[in-house]
């Protein structure tokens, strides 16, 4: 296809509503309006039309609703085919997808189906003369790289919380277009056998204002007790590095980093973790980092506002008591 124009966002719907992450994607698309053309949003599923008004209120000019029983559960093949249909209608120059469970799976495969490619986990997007420029963390977060595309459409996934949503505006007008996916169920080559949600106790890591995170230096599952107590005192949550999770000291759900959760607390208390780039990639949005580490050369101190060079076992119980006393 030629004459591609405008931006298509792949929206995600949970419990009949557009997800917060998707509103961030619409915000990003709206700010790229210099690209010319309209901002549209694709919603795929078995019953997603209820979210179309959300998409319009958050910035979409047009919403493509693809409803099909075969889209009741996410599948790579189902989403790729449905998106192919929407792309055929919208003919976008740019497709923006969230770096979510769905996005990181579907974006590469969709890109290659469309004879283009995808730039994943972007932090910043800009447009000049219709050409997308995408900035992302690479080399485990040690470097930033800026990329552009030689093929159309230009597909980028963006990191959660890297983009601001617009204010919800109920007065915004938009068009809702129904697209028939015409899916042949046999074209979906994977079968979902089971799905288990991990229910978090207490404050969700993604929503926490205070996170107490521990790394390899914690040394044991029991070592995290004092971190839990401090997180409890501050109404926060406990996080961990990939190393600590791989050791079995914390569940996968606590993992912060490139391959785990992306968090943006006001206060991140980093305990006995070195500050490896792949971990920091998950908490680069933290507004204040405080570090406790016995290695004064640890990278985490280069990113921290306050630091104590000491064994966490000696400092953390005292810090917990001192904070309790402050009330």
Partner 1 sequence: MHVIVCVKQVPDPEIPPSSFKVDEAAKKVVPPPGVAAVVSQFDEIAVEAAMRIKDAQSDAKVTVLSMGPASAYDAIKKGLAMGSDEGVHLLDDAFEEGDAYTTAQTLAAAIQKLGDYDLILCGRQAVDWDMGVTGSALAEVLGIPSITFAKDVQVRDGSVVVERVFPDSFETVEAALPALVTISNELGEPRYPKLQQIMQAARKQVTKWSAADLGLDPSQLGASGVRLSLDRLYVPVSEIECEFVEGETPEEAAQKLAEKLRESKLV
- Enumerate residues 30-89 that contact partner 1 by CB under 8 A: 76-77
Other CB atoms within a 10 A radius of the CB of residue 13 amount to 21
Choose, by CB under 8 A, the member of 31, 33, 49, 108 that binds partner 1: 108
Q: Cβ 319 to partner 1, closest distance in Å?
A: 4
Task: From residue 210, give the alpha-carbon distance in Å to each of 67, 117, 306, 317.
Answer: 40, 38, 15, 17
Q: Cβ 197 to partner 1, closest distance in Å?
A: 5
2 binds partner 1 (CB under 8 A): no
- Answer yes or no: are the C-beta atoms of 19 and 54 closer than 8 Å: no
Choose, by CB under 8 A, the member of 203, 234, 240, 283 that binds partner 1: 234
151 binds partner 1 (CB under 8 A): yes
150 binds partner 1 (CB under 8 A): yes
Structure tokens at 219: 């040394």
Strand pairing report for 306-309 and 288-293:
parallel
Q: Cβ 252 to partner 1, closest distance in Å?
A: 6
Q: Give which of 131, 122, 42 is closest to 78, Cα–Cα.
A: 42
d(CA 250, CA 116) in angstroms, rounded, equals 39
d(CA 157, CA 111) in angstroms, rounded, equals 11
Structure tokens at 275: 């500050």
Choose, by CB under 8 A, the member of 45, 78, 165, 260 that binds partner 1: 260
Q: Cβ 111 to partner 1, closest distance in Å?
A: 7
21 binds partner 1 (CB under 8 A): no
Residues 266-325 close enough to bind partner 1 by CB under 8 A = 266-267, 275-278, 288-291, 296-297, 299, 301-311, 314-316, 318-319, 321-323, 325
User: By rule CB under 8 A, what count of residues binds partner 1?
Assistant: 89
Report DSSP state, residue 16. T
Structure tokens at 30: 């709206």
Q: Cβ 29 to partner 1, closest distance in Å?
A: 20
121 binds partner 1 (CB under 8 A): yes
């Amino acid at each position: 296809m030629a004459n591609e124009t405008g931006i298509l966002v792949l929206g995600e719907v949970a419990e009949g509503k557009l997800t917060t992450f998707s509103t961030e994607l619409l915000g990003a698309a709206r700010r790229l309006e210099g690209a010319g053309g309209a901002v549209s949003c694709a919603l795929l599923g078995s019953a997603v039309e209820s979210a179309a008004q959300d998409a319009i209120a958050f910035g979409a000019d047009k919403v493509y609703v693809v409803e099909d029983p075969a889209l009741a559960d996410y599948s790579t093949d189902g989403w790729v085919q449905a998106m192919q249909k929407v792309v055929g209608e919208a003919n976008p120059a740019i497709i923006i997808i969230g770096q979510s469970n769905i996005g990181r799976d579907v974006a590469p495969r969709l890109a290659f189906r469309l004879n283009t490619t995808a730039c994943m986990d972007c932090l910043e997007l800009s447009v000049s003369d219709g050409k997308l420029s995408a900035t992302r963390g690479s080399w485990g977060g040690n470097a930033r790289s800026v990329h552009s595309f030689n093929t159309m459409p230009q597909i980028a996934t963006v990191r959660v919380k890297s983009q601001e949503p617009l204010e919800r505006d109920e007065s915004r007008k938009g068009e809702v277009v129904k697209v028939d996916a015409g899916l042949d169920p046999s074209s979906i080559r994977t079968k979902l056998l089971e799905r288990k949600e991990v229910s978090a106790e207490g404050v969700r890591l993604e929503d926490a204002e205070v996170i107490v995170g521990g790394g390899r230096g914690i040394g044991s599952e029991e070592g995290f007790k004092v971190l839990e107590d401090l997180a409890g005192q501050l109404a926060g949550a406990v996080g961990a590095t990939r190393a600590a999770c791989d050791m079995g000291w914390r569940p996968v759900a606590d993992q912060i980093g490139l391959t785990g959760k992306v968090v943006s607390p006001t206060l991140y208390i980093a305990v006995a973790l070195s500050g490896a780039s792949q971990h920091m990639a998950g908490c680069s949005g933290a507004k204040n980092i405080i570090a406790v580490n016995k290695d004064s050369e640890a990278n985490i101190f280069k990113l921290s506002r306050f630091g104590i060079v000491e064994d966490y076992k000696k400092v953390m119980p005292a810090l917990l008591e001192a904070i309790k006393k402050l009330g």
